[in-house]
Chain A
């Protein structure tokens, strides 16, 4: 049971360092909070509105824009503010209602309303909404001008008549029938997706960062001293591996339970979720052992650990959801599965979106176990040679 003693010492050494406590427990939760509140909410396009007019028609227009579905309206107090916000992409488009909107509209002068947009594509979703609100509002005024142009009455006659008619005629309606399967990802809770992504990202990243302490163990001669005791090399390796694995598992569990309690994140079937974490912690600790075996300098391993930890996570769908790849770049979706993270996320999809159980995650877990096996085997083969170097 010396292996457990070695693992225990590893774990204690790790936790004694207060900065590790920050990285392992506080930072991931903080990041999930930040990302969830920033990106987890509504993805409806935003229309910034600057209402320069003070009349009732201008106010009515803004009101009808706010009532539109599929778009959010944000009020601005100056055109310059609105302009720079559109330019910086903080809203998708901006609408400028001029100062004399009411007066001009009532006297029959065409009123230009500016729609500020960066490019045609960005404002696609908003354009129709704005046009429909404008058409809706100008119905009575436009009908009055029609009456005037046809010569059957004055603009005033037309205005009075159109108002009466307008109250009695029913609008041509649009009914929307929803069809097709909703894309499961969009049904996830505010924090769900980012919690899964960050959990996998951090379990892997922390493991890689912990590879530095394995290098220290070698460089400071701790490994040599252990070997000089009546302890077989396989026990030392098992202990070191177990230590990394315990750190990864502990962090993953903390993130799971923490986000469940604080943000009510849906992790799906608990046994299945734990199984994914368990296997992924094996993958992470395996990668850490491999890094610890391949590098000689702990500072270099630290820098490259960040590179691999963030890089593989980004590739594997922990920064941009896999569904976005699948949608926009199908080839990349395949490449993404080089990273173990992609398989972990798919396993969570099977649990959370498809409401599956442990059985449904097994194919993904098998693949992840394959990663872990390869990492550990190569690491052990290499460490047997370099442990005492």
Chain B
């Protein structure tokens, strides 16, 4: 054990002197996190807002009610409602060039003349929605109109049934009474925990775990560098066990990983306002994450013949796993085959663990921690076999 420490301490000193580990482990992820969070913050803090125009060509009793309900909807959902007097005006307002600073509307509702009478008869009747192209705003408008039209259809059927069974009275008044019958199906909106990492946190965490593999690689591959430099034979010749050499390299990689992750967690929290979540949960994930990286990179190093090859292979593995694991893009939210495939990478488990931690409690990280440890154990076993073979004099 003492020998392992000596080797680890010597390697750490070397790494500190050579600034590469510092650049890869701290400067690069921190710099990218700064760029990403400054790009994505304004996008994320964007809130839904829309402008809708309404043209009442009917001026009847039902049409006026539509405008009232639309006004209420607007207040409830941060949408501005503009009342216009002609369909052409509405068309012009919706039909503006994208991103011009002209006044515009996301969609317009047109209630045709004769609407109120037609609704209270059996004649076909329609509400027109002039919809802009794309954007959430126009979709919401169409859904609103559909919903209102369904209400009117219901009122028509209810009042007709009522009258057919002998009911009488003013049709509009009957319609209002019908509308006050609560719908038999109640939509019960439940706000659930949010396990999506906020942008700043997502990019801080994603870049940290992405570059962690590069940092750890410095440690794992130093074994091959020793061989290249001829110092490995001297270590083997020295009165120490071979497992001490490997243990020393592993310890030094672990320390590099812990230090860089600790600096990144602290710095992104203080500088960019990233919210990593419960510190103990984060600690568990980070340690398990480092363990998985050690295992996987040991396999890669075991396969490589030279230090250069090992460095090349490990960057390939780190980048492919990182991208697939959704450290740059939230692949899980995209869905599909890829969203399932990402779980073959430790990165995906790390990110999911952090997300679950954000919307839950410390116990929620355990599945992710377990998966990461499993990566470390399985890969590490193979890696050790390969590395020991390389430790022949």
The residues of A with any CB-CB pair to B shorter than 8 Å are 17-19, 22-23, 27, 30-31, 34-35, 37-39, 41, 46, 70, 74, 83-84, 86-91, 105, 108-119, 121, 124-125, 127-132, 134-147, 149-150, 152-153, 157-158, 161-162, 165-166, 168-183, 186, 297, 299-300, 302-304, 306-307, 310-311, 314-315, 319-320, 324-329, 331-332
| 22 A-B residue pairings within 8 Å (CB atoms) | A39-B329, A115-B187, A118-B192, A138-B183, A142-B154, A143-B161, A147-B161, A150-B177, A171-B149, A176-B129, A177-B129, A177-B130, A179-B95, A179-B130, A179-B132, A181-B98, A302-B20, A303-B27, A304-B23, A304-B27, A310-B32, A325-B43
A165 near B153: Cβ-Cβ < 8 Å: no
Stretch of B139-147, B291-299, B368-376 with 4 or more beta carbons under 8 angstroms from chain A: B139-147
CB pair A134–B191 under 8 Å, yes or no, is no
Our pick among B143, B313, B335 for the contact of A128 (Cβ within 8 Å) is B143
Smallest Cβ-Cβ distance to A186: which chain B residue: B134
* B181 & A145 in contact (Cβ 8 Å cutoff): yes
Of the stretches B2-10, B119-127, B227-235, B381-389, the one at the interface is B119-127
Given A127-B143, A311-B35, A315-B39: A181 touches B97 (CB 8 Å cut-off): yes
Establish whether residues B27 and A180, one from each chain, have CB atoms under 8 Å apart when the complex forms: no
Chain A residues with CB under 8 Å of B352's CB are 88
The digit string for B152-181, where 1 denotes a CB below 8 A from any CB of A, is 111011101110111100000000011001
Given A88-B195, A324-B43: A170 in contact with B122 (beta carbons within 8 A): yes
Q: Tell whether, in the assembled complex, residue A88 and residue B162 are in contact, meaning their CB atoms are under 8 Å apart.
A: no
B184 A138 Cβ-Cβ under 8 A: yes
- A144 to B129 Cα, complex, angstroms: 31
Given contacts A35-B329, A131-B187, contact A143 B139 (CB under 8 A): no
Interface residues of B in 293-329 (CB under 8 A from A): 309, 312-313, 315-316, 319-320, 323-324, 328-329
B193 touches A87 (CB 8 A): yes
Top 5 A-B residue pairs of the complex, sorted by shortest distance between their CB atoms? A128-B143, A19-B312, A329-B42, A182-B133, A143-B158
Inter-subunit contact A89/B143 (CB<8 Å) = no
B270, CB-defined interface residue at 8 Å: no
Q: Within the complex, what minimum Cβ distance (angstroms) separates B264 from chain A? A: 14
Question: Out of A119, A134, A175, A183, which one reaches B194, CB within 8 Å?
Answer: A119
Given the contacts A83-B192, A105-B185, A115-B189, A165 and B160 also touching, CB distance less than 8 Å: yes
- Chain B residues lying within 8 Å of A17, measured Cβ to Cβ, are 312
**Nearest Cβ in chain B — how far from A104, in angstroms?**
8
Contact of B187 among A34, A113, A315, A331 (CB under 8 A): A113
Given contacts A152-B165, A303-B20, 8 further A-B contacts (CB under 8 A): A83-B192, A89-B194, A173-B126, A180-B133, A300-B23, A311-B31, A319-B329, A324-B43
User: Contacts of B156 on A, CB cut-off 8 Å?
Assistant: 169, 172
Identify which of A70, A87, A139 contacts B192 (C-beta below 8 A). A87
In the bound complex, residues from chain B placing their C-beta under 8 Å from that of A39 are 329, 334
Q: Does A172 lie within 8 Å of B126, measured CB to CB? A: yes
Residues of B within 8 Å of A125, CB to CB, are: 136, 139-140, 143
B324 and A34 contact, CB distance less than 8 A? yes
CB of B283 within 8 A of chain A? no
Query: Pick the contact of B149 from A142, A157, A173 — CB < 8 Å?
Result: A173
* Residue pair A169, B122 in contact (C-beta under 8 Å): yes
B42 and A121 contact, CB distance less than 8 A: no
A44 to B14, CA, bound (A): 53
CB pair A173 B125 closer than 8 Å: yes
Q: Which residues of B contact A (CB under 8 A)?
A: 18-20, 23-24, 27-28, 31-32, 35-36, 38-40, 42-43, 46-48, 77, 91, 94-99, 119, 122-136, 139-140, 142-147, 149-154, 156-158, 160-162, 164-167, 177-178, 181-196, 214, 309, 312-313, 315-316, 319-320, 323-324, 328-339, 352, 355-356, 359
B144 adjacent to A116 (CB under 8 Å): no
With beta carbons under 8 angstroms apart, the residue of A22, A139, A147, A324 that contacts B162 is A147
The smallest beta-carbon distance between B110 and chain A, in angstroms, is 8
Partner of A162, one of B43, B139, B158, B336: B158
Q: Which residues of A contact B143 (CB under 8 A)?
A: 70, 125, 127-129, 131-132
Q: Taking the nearest CB of chain B, how far is it from the CB of A75, in angstroms?
A: 13
Q: How far is the CA of A128 from the CA of B149 in the complex (A)?
A: 12
Distance A132 CA – B127 CA, assembled complex (angstroms): 15
Interchain CA distance A91-B216 in the complex, whole Å: 35
Contacts of B329 in A (CB 8 A): 35, 38-39, 319
Q: Is the pair B147, A118 in contact by a Cβ cutoff of 8 Å?
A: no
A273 to B96, CA, bound (A): 30
Known: A125-B140, A127-B143, A174-B126. A314 touches B183 (CB 8 A): no
Contacting pair A117 B184 (CB below 8 A): no
Query: Which residue from chain A places its CB closest to the CB of B341 in the assembled complex?
Result: A34
Q: In whole angstroms, how far apart are the Cα atoms of A87 and B19 in the complex? A: 41
Contact A180 B154 (CB under 8 A): no
Query: A46-B335, A121-B47, A300-B20 known; A105 and B184 CB under 8 Å?
Result: yes
**Is there an interface contact between A174 and B355, defined as CB atoms closer than 8 Å?**
no
**Measured between alpha carbons, how far is A140 from B337 in the docked complex, in Å?**
41
- Find chain B residues with CB under 8 A from A136 CB: 150, 153
Q: How far is the CA of A134 from the CA of B186 in the complex (A)?
A: 9
Q: Contacts A124-B140, A176-B142, A307-B27 known; A320 to B39 CB distance under 8 Å? A: yes
A145 to B162, CA, bound (A): 10
Across the interface, name the chain A residue whose C-beta is closest to B181. A146
User: CA separation between A279 and B36, bound complex, in Å?
Assistant: 27
Select which of A88, A105, A135, A326 is within 8 A of B154 by beta carbon: A135
- Interchain CB contact under 8 A, B161 and A158: yes
Most B CB contacts (10 A, CB to CB) among A91, A141, A150, A332 go to A150
Query: Shortest distance in angstroms between A197's beta carbon and chain B's nearest beta carbon?
Result: 12
Q: Are B149 and A174 in contact (CB under 8 A)?
A: yes
